[in-house]
């Protein structure tokens, strides 16, 4: 099993002794720092585009991350679809792969984690960790302060309410909330008629 397979396998490995073998770790982190400091001039925005394409595994067209963002590998193991929007202070623990589908919106202070450690004090003292990839579908909305744990799959079009901790898979087309996050209801036809606790969409479009 090669290093990349180990990092995405869920198997225990000694942290620091397994590397994906590509590039310089500190270079990815420095690129991330440069992104966060680039500012909002036309030159700064162009620099951000270049850094995203250099640092991330994949970046779709019209995808944007508000600075600052924080990532264990600077985003190297993160795959972003088209038209993804990530708001301030997103943290990506990307020791394993993280996949985020097109048109997904991620609110401020969201944390997506692909890495973990064993409960065993002995194994932790010996430096063992384990990772599982995270899959977030298309047109998902993760509201503010959501935490997504390793190995989770979130289906297309679903919404995860603010402050939720997602410990298990969430299917497509549902609203999930809580700690741990549980499905509250399916998203249905009424959601195309009403918003914000019963307000009519047709009367409030500008």
Question: What amino acid positions are annotated as catalytic residues?
Answer: 117
Closest listed residue to residue 25, CA positions, set 50, 43, 7, 1: 7
Place of tokens 């479009």: 205
List Cα–Cα distances, 178 to 5, 51, 58, in angstroms.
Answer: 33, 35, 31
Q: How many CB atoms lie within 10 A of CB 95?
A: 25
What does the alpha-carbon distance between residue 134 and residue 98 come to, in Å, rounded to a whole number?
5
First-last CA distance in the chain: 56
What distance in Å separates the CA atoms of residue 119 and residue 104, rounded to the nearest whole number? Answer: 33
CA 50 and chain centroid, separation: 20
């Amino acid at each position: 099993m090669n290093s990349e397979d180990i990092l995405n396998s869920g198997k225990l490995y000694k942290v620091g002794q397994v590397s994906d073998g590509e590039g310089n770790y500190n270079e990815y982190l420095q690129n991330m720092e440069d992104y966060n400091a680039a500012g909002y001039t036309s030159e700064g925005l162009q620099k951000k585009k270049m850094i995203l394409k250099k640092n991330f595994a994949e970046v779709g067209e019209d995808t944007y991350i508000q600075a600052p963002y924080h990532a264990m590998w600077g985003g190297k193991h993160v795959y972003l679809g088209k038209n993804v929007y990530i708001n301030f202070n997103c943290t990506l623990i990307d020791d394993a792969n993280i996949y985020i589908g097109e048109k997904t919106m991620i609110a401020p202070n969201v944390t997506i984690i692909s890495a973990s450690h064993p409960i065993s004090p002995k194994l932790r003292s010996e430096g063992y960790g384990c990772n599982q990839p995270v899959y977030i579908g298309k047109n998902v909305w993760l509201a503010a302060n959501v935490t997504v744990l390793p190995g989770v799959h979130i289906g297309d079009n679903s919404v995860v309410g603010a402050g939720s901790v997602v410990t298990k898979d969430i299917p497509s087309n549902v609203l999930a909330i809580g700690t741990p996050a549980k499905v509250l209801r399916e998203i249905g036809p009424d959601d195309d008629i009403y918003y914000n606790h019963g307000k009519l969409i047709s009367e409030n479009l500008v």
